[in-house]
């Protein structure tokens, strides 16, 4: 492994990148976690990292991170090799779990939107699944809570808003990206679910004694840091 990025650019006369390009690509990968070649804001970093993949793997390993390159679907994911807890709201945790299940339900039967493995839900479909899994309502008076949660997921390359079909009255559809399978694998989902059930059990007993309901938006819990 080179001691710095300058040693790569100095020793490779055909390298089209500057040392700062390597630094920016590394920072973008670690912060955003998933990079997709098809997204213009990701493309330069994706191409650089895949061209010098072995160097990035070694550098990430020193940080306790593992690089996954899905060549067929043209995306990169970085995940932690050493888990550590972080505070996440119940709303965030529930949303991630429902996103992961929603992806599984469609992808497992080949119902993907394109060759990149995206899965599309309209808002009523996702709301029905969310209610079925959690017993809660995601969209009530406005779409603001859903959009806030989608914005968080988009920052990590897990899901994003996408344009609704022409003539469809809904303002957008939910596009779940394939990186969610790597970030929230079966083991991580199991730990998320176990932590959530334990926390909900404690919260239920406390709030029942107080005569109040549970508010997933306001409560936080310790979960494994699947997202950086």
Write down the pLDDT at residue 28: 97
Write down the pLDDT at residue 214: 39
The more confidently predicted of residues 29 and 93 is 29
Asked if 66 and 37 sit in the same domain, the reply is: yes
Asked if 113 and 215 sit in the same domain, the reply is: yes
Rounded to whole angstroms, how far apart are CA atoms 86 and 188? Answer: 14
Segments forming the whole domain that contains residue 112: 85-224
Residue 160 tokens, joined: 């994003």
Question: How many distinct structural domains can be found in the chain?
Answer: 2
Asked if 48 and 119 sit in the same domain, the reply is: no
Rounded to whole angstroms, how far apart are CA atoms 225 and 228? Answer: 6
Write down the pLDDT at residue 204: 43
Asked if 61 and 89 sit in the same domain, the reply is: no
The more confidently predicted of residues 46 and 215 is 46
**Which among 80, 112, 138 is the end of a domain?**
80
Asked if 190 and 210 sit in the same domain, the reply is: yes
pTM: 0.83
Asked if 54 and 102 sit in the same domain, the reply is: no
Write down the pLDDT at residue 42: 97
Q: What confidence tens digit (pLDDT) does each residue in 98-153 have?
A: 999 999 999 999 999 999 999 999 999 999 999 999 999 988 778 999 999 999 99
Q: Is the pLDDT of residue 193 over 80?
A: no
Asked if 200 and 166 sit in the same domain, the reply is: yes
Asked if 57 and 145 sit in the same domain, the reply is: no
Write down the pLDDT at residue 199: 52
Percentage with pLDDT > 70 across the chain: 78
Going by their DSSP bridges, the two strands 159-162 and 119-121 should be labelled as: unpaired
**Which among 80, 110, 145 is the end of a domain?**
80
Write down the pLDDT at residue 89: 80
**Which among 63, 80, 97 is the end of a domain?**
80
Asked if 32 and 121 sit in the same domain, the reply is: no
Q: How far is CA 78 from CA 52, 139, 159, 211, 218, in A?
A: 15, 31, 16, 44, 29
Q: What confidence tens digit (pLDDT) does each residue in 196-225 have?
A: 555 544 444 444 444 444 344 545 544 445
Asked if 64 and 102 sit in the same domain, the reply is: no
Q: What confidence tens digit (pLDDT) does each residue in 51-99 have?
A: 999 999 999 999 999 999 999 999 999 998 876 656 678 888 899 999 9
Are the C-beta atoms of residues 100 and 113 closer than 8 Å to each other? no
Asked if 58 and 95 sit in the same domain, the reply is: no
Q: Is the pLDDT of residue 165 over 80?
A: yes
Asked if 29 and 94 sit in the same domain, the reply is: no
């Amino acid at each position: 492994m080179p001691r710095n990025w300058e040693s790569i650019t100095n020793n490779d006369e055909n390298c089209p990148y500057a040392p700062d390009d390597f630094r920016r690509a590394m920072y973008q990968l670690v912060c955003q976690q998933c990079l997709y070649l098809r997204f213009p804001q990701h493309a330069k970093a994706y191409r650089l990292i895949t061209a010098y993949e072995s160097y990035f793997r070694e550098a990430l390993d020193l940080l306790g991170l593992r690089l996954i390159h899905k060549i067929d679907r043209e995306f990169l994911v970085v995940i932690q090799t050493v888990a550590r807890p972080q505070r996440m709201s119940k709303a965030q945790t529930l949303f991630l779990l429902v996103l992961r299940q929603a992806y599984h339900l469609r992808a497992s039967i080949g119902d993907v939107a394109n060759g990149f493995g995206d899965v599309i839900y309209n808002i009523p479909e996702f709301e029905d699944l969310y209610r079925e899994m959690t017993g809660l309502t995601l969209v009530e008076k406005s779409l603001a809570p859903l959009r806030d949660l989608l914005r968080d997921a988009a920052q990590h390359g897990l899901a994003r808003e996408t344009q609704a079909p022409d003539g469809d009255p809904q303002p957008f559809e939910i596009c779940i990206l394939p990186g969610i399978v790597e970030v929230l694998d079966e083991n991580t989902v199991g730990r998320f679910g176990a932590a959530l059930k334990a926390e909900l059990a404690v919260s239920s007993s406390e709030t029942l004694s107080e005569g109040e309901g549970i508010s997933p938006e306001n409560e936080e819990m310790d979960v494994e840091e699947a997202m950086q």
